[in-house]
């Protein structure tokens, strides 16, 4: 089990951790009824924090930020001698948590994506983990939510009896949601992004060979170029350049303060 604490990647504090330790922490928080925000960060997730001081504040308030992308794992190894042999891939982490929750009788809740995707996801998770208690599920509204709607979401999730919430809203909306809902829900809130689509079977995952080589982004870009080109073509080179600057001790020349969000965004 690997659990070495948080390390600075471009001002975002990412955990040096493996699957086993991550699942243990999440399940412990669920059993204790304690708010616990988790996200699996690839390059895009890290860069949202690099480029936005408020988002950096949110991310650095998370209880657990796991290295989802290979380039994030490589940066931890290069800059901090982490010696991580594997990343903690969000979709795989979700399955590992579901397996533990099925074993330990911990009810889960699914929030996000579309009605069709979340219905299919619920069916497939139930088939894969027969003992898993899916206490409830609801799709995203794909817009900002009102204070009344937020209260309704909180009441529904808490009233369901769930003790773990998976959130699939896409980055960075899901991290904002986890930040805003963690304490009021008093349970682990886990942002898992594309895992909903992958496990529902509506979007294919990249081949394992591309994932291992850190080229999952290329596979996704080829499938959705209009939606993803800015994310990968612009942010990936910037990430590499900034990691090099951090390695050379030059990143301190840039202002990397954090700014507490003044208002809740009310994403839903």
Would 125 be classed as within a structural domain? yes
First to last CA, the chain: 35
Tokens of residue 217, six digits: 């982004």
Residue 24 lies in a domain: yes
Residue 68 is predicted with a pLDDT of 95
Pairing mode, if any, of strands 3-9 and 134-138? unpaired
pLDDT at 120: 96
| Lateral strand order in the sheet of 108-112 | 64-67, 36-41, 188-191, 164-168, 108-112, 134-138
pLDDT tens over the chain, length 268 residues: 898 999 999 999 999 999 999 999 999 999 999 999 999 999 999 999 999 999 999 999 999 999 999 999 999 999 999 999 999 999 999 999 999 999 999 999 999 999 999 999 999 999 999 999 999 999 998 788 888 888 999 999 999 999 999 999 988 999 999 999 999 999 999 999 889 999 998 887 778 887 787 787 777 777 777 777 777 788 889 999 999 999 998 877 566 677 888 767 677 7
Q: Residue 81 domain-assigned?
A: yes
CA–CA separation, 102 and 92 (whole Å): 15
Q: Classify strands 134-138 and 108-112 as parallel, antiparallel or unpaired.
A: parallel
Please name which of 37, 32, 41 lies closest in space to residue 180, comparing C-alpha atoms: 37
Q: State the pLDDT at residue 58.
A: 96
Q: Does 231 fall in a domain?
A: no
> Does some domain include residue 155?
yes
Using DSSP, state whether 113 is helix, strand or coil.
coil
* pTM (two decimals): 0.92
Question: Distance (Å, rounded) from C-alpha 162 to C-alpha 155?
Answer: 11
Q: What is the CATH number of the domain that holds 181?
A: 3.40.50
The pLDDT score that the predictor gives to residue 255 is: 60
- Is the residue at 250 inside a domain? no
Residue 55: domain span? 3-200
Q: Which residue has the tokens 């204070």?
A: 147
Residue 225 lies in a domain: no
Cα–Cα distance for residue pair 172/236, rounded to 1 Å: 16
259 located within any domain? no
Q: What does the pLDDT read at residue 141?
A: 85
Distance of CA 160 to the CA centre of its chain: 23
Structural domain count of the chain: 1
Alpha-carbon span 108 to 133, nearest angstrom: 6
Ramachandran bin of 104, using left for φ above 0, alpha for ψ from -120 to 50, beta for the remaining angles: alpha
């Amino acid at each position: 089990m690997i659990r070495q604490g948080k390390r600075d990647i471009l001002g975002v504090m990412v955990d040096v951790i493996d699957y086993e330790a991550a699942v243990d922490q999440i399940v412990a928080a669920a059993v204790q009824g304690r708010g616990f925000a988790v996200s699996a960060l690839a390059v895009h997730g890290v860069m949202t924090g690099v480029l936005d001081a408020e988002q950096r504040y949110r991310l650095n308030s998370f209880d657990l930020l796991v290295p989802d992308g290979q380039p994030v794992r490589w940066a931890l190894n290069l800059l901090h001698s982490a010696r991580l042999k594997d990343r903690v891939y969000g979709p795989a982490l979700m399955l590992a948590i579901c397996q533990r929750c099925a074993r330990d009788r911990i009810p889960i809740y699914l929030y996000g994506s579309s009605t069709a995707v979340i219905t299919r996801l619920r069916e497939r998770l139930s088939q894969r983990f027969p003992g898993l208690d899916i206490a409830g599920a609801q799709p995203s509204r794909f817009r900002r939510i009102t204070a009344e709607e937020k209260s309704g979401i909180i009441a529904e999730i808490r009233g369901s009896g769930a003790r773990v919430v998976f959130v699939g809203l896409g980055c960075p909306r899901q991290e904002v949601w986890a930040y805003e809902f963690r304490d009021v829900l008093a349970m682990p809130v886990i942002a898992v992004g594309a895992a909903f689509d992958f496990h529902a079977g509506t979007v294919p995952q990249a081949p394992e060979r591309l994932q291992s080589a850190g080229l999952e982004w290329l596979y996704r870009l080829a499938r959705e170029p209009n939606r993803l080109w800015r994310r990968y073509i612009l942010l990936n080179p910037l990430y590499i350049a900034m990691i090099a600057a951090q390695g050379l001790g030059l990143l301190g020349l840039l202002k990397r303060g954090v700014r507490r969000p003044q208002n809740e965004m009310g994403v839903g």
